[in-house]
Structure 1
Amino acid sequence: MRPVRVYIWKFGTVIETGKKNKINLMKKVLLAVFAVTVITVSLQAQGIRLGAKVGTNLNKISGQSFSDGFDLAYHVGGFLEIDFNKKWGIQPEVLWSQTATKRSSFNTIYASEINPLNNGEKIKLDYLSIPILLRYNVGGILTLNLGPQFGILLNQDKTLLQNGESAFKGGDFSMVAGGQLNFKVLRIYGRFNIGLQNINDIDNKDKWTNQQIQLGLGLRF
């Protein structure tokens, strides 16, 4: 039986290595797309402004497995304001963003998969979020934002399931809509992010999507 066990172990290692390679490739592709987008539009822009931002996340993961209420977390990062003219522009950002939620029916739905040694109710996921937002300057101090957001999962809780399996997918895709008030160097913003991708990496019993309200302050340099 020893050769069989060795073969199974090696096969599992190959699968795990394949997942890691796919995630690493996805990270490189997203960062490359972000860099190319910024460089391309910068060449055509009339004005470019750099800034930093910090704020709170009110988020939940939809699905029967988790609590239906919103939980508090945080985000921090940097942004560029790139104007094509007085009305239109884009706003690419790079953010560290945390998602927090609580288990609801997770232990019931995945009773055979959960790790009995992990009894924690709270779950936290850290993402590298890359929103690329269209800017529309309404007039005065108000700017509206709309666009896609790509998320790369930075941490993966290997104690949630048995055998160190991953419960969440390594990437996420969402749409972002919101508004921003501009006071010289100060930015006050609010936005809603709705996930379009199922981040459940276990099976298809329950569909999980991120939903997030962001409120924060930014400073333009």
Structure 2
Amino acid sequence: MKKITLFLAAALLLMATGASAQSLNLGVKAGATLGKIDGQPFKDGYNLGVHAGFFADLGIGEKWGIQPEVLFNQTKTQVRSSSDVGDVLNQGTKGHLNYLSIPILLNFKPAKILTIQAGPQFGILMNKDNSLVDNGKEAFKSGDFAIDLGAQLNLGGFKVYGRYNIGLSDTRVSDVTDKSKWTNQQIQLGIGYVIL
């Protein structure tokens, strides 16, 4: 319920901002995702994945704006031990978690070339990789909530960005016996291009 309330509040803010936006740009973006799942059974270290999607830049004055995005976002992981998670995950198992991610970022532009970004990100799990889930058990919930922090260089119509994604929600389901919290952590590096 708390996540639904946050999502609705963000959507209302976005609609109100869109109605009073002084500028609107639409674009595409893509890049690399260095992701991991924090939690006792997972190997430390980041694994290379990809992300791609669309963004809108709603300008509010010269220095502020809102940037909603819709991204395909991939996290890769590997299990290091199976002793604490029952028979849900096998040791050494590798998997891909593909999310439809919806960040809603507040933009602050201290200079024309630089944008500082922060905001919530809502994720919807699009697959539960069969190589990661044993015997049809679902190890991961269907949603994710995170906070994004990052910066973007504005080079005309091109954008070059870096972002750190801090997972706040526990991605495991209740029937997994492991007591540690499983959270997504990501570093995203990429480029974008304004098409409208």
Q: TM-score, normalised by structure 2?
A: 0.88
Q: CA deviation at 1:29?
A: 8.9
Given candidates 118, 132, 142, the residue that maps to 1:170 is: 142
Corresponding letter in the other structure for 2:69:
E
Deviation, structure 1 residue 159: 5.8
Aligned 8 A contact 2:22 2:61 in 1? yes
Across the aligned residues of Structure 1 and Structure 2, the Cα RMSD in angstroms comes to 2.6
Contact 1:158 1:165 in 2 (8 A): no
Question: Among the aligned pairs, what percent are the same residue?
Answer: 47
- Higher relative contact order at CA 8 Å, sep ≥6: structure 1 or structure 2? 2
Asked whether the equivalents of residues 98 and 127 of structure 1 are also in contact (C-alpha less than 8 Å), the reply is yes
Picking from 115, 118, 121, the partner of 1:146 is 118
Q: Structure 1 or 2: larger helix share?
A: 1
Q: Please, which runs of 5 or more residues in structure 2 have no aligned partner?
A: none
Aligned equivalent of 1:109: 84
- Post-superposition offset of 1:110: 2.1
Cα distance in 2 for partners of 1:114, 1:186 equals 42
* In the alignment, structure 1 residue 55 sits paired with structure 2 residue 27: no
Task: Give the conservation status (yes or no) of the 8 Å contact 1:30–1:150.
Answer: no
Instruction: Figure out how many residues of one structure are paired with residues of the other and give that number.
Output: 193
Report the counterpart of residue 69 of structure 1 in structure 2. Answer: 45
Contact kept? 1:173, 1:196, Cα under 8 Å? yes
For residues 167-197 of structure 1, the C-alpha deviation after alignment (integer angstroms, 9 at most, x for no partner) is 0011110000000000110000000001011
CA distance in 1, matches of 2:139, 2:7: 24
Gaps of 5+ in 1: 1-27
Q: 1:192 aligns with which of 164, 177, 188?
A: 164
What whole-Å deviation, never above 9, does each CA across 1:188-221 have from its counterpart, x for those lacking one? 0000001011111124522100000000000001
Q: SS at the partner of 2:109? A: strand
Large movers: runs of 4+ above 3 Å: 28-39, 111-115, 157-163
Change over 3 Å in CA distance of 1:146–1:35 after alignment to 2: closer
The letter of the residue matching 2:189 is: L
Higher share in strand: 2
User: Taking structure 1 as the reference length, what is the TM-score of the superposition?
Assistant: 0.79
Superposed, which structure 2 residues align to 1:5-84 within 5 Å?
36-84=12-60
CA distance in structure 2 between the partners assigned to 1:95 and 1:74 by the alignment: 10
- Aligned residues of 2:105 and 2:120 also touching (Cα < 8 A): yes
